[in-house]
């Protein structure tokens, strides 16, 4: 759906002849889809950009508080 929304936005920008600085992001979305990130959220864009940049991600195995649990 994100890809569709970017396509609609870029199309409108072309019709109105206004700059659309998000064109690079639209390309990143297309690359993420091509890499198989079809059912994932926008965080997959970070993964795809890291892969494109030659960055190897390494898990830090850190606990992350979701801020939803009651404080003790």
Q: Is residue 3 pLDDT above 80, yes or no?
A: no
pLDDT value at residue 23? 67
Q: Is residue 72 pLDDT above 70, yes or no?
A: no
Mean per-residue pLDDT over the chain, rounded: 80
Domain ranges of the chain: 2-52
Burial class (CB in 10 A: 0-12, 13-18, 19+), 10: middle
Q: List pLDDT tens digits, range 52-66.
A: 788 887 878 888 788
**In Å, how far are 5, 23, 60, 72 from 38, measured between CA atoms?**
15, 20, 25, 39
Q: Is residue 33 pLDDT above 80, yes or no?
A: yes
Average pLDDT for 32-50: 81
**What's this model's pTM, rounded to 2 decimal places?**
0.48
**In Å, how far are 14, 21, 27, 43, 49 from 18, measured between CA atoms?**
7, 10, 18, 28, 26
């Amino acid at each position: 759906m994100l890809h569709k929304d970017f396509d609609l936005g870029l199309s409108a920008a072309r019709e109105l002849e206004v700059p659309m600085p998000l064109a690079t992001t639209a390309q990143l979305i297309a690359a993420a889809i091509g890499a198989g990130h079809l059912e994932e959220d926008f965080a997959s864009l970070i993964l795809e950009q890291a892969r494109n940049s030659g960055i190897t991600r390494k898990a830090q195995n850190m606990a992350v508080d979701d801020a939803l649990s009651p404080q003790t």
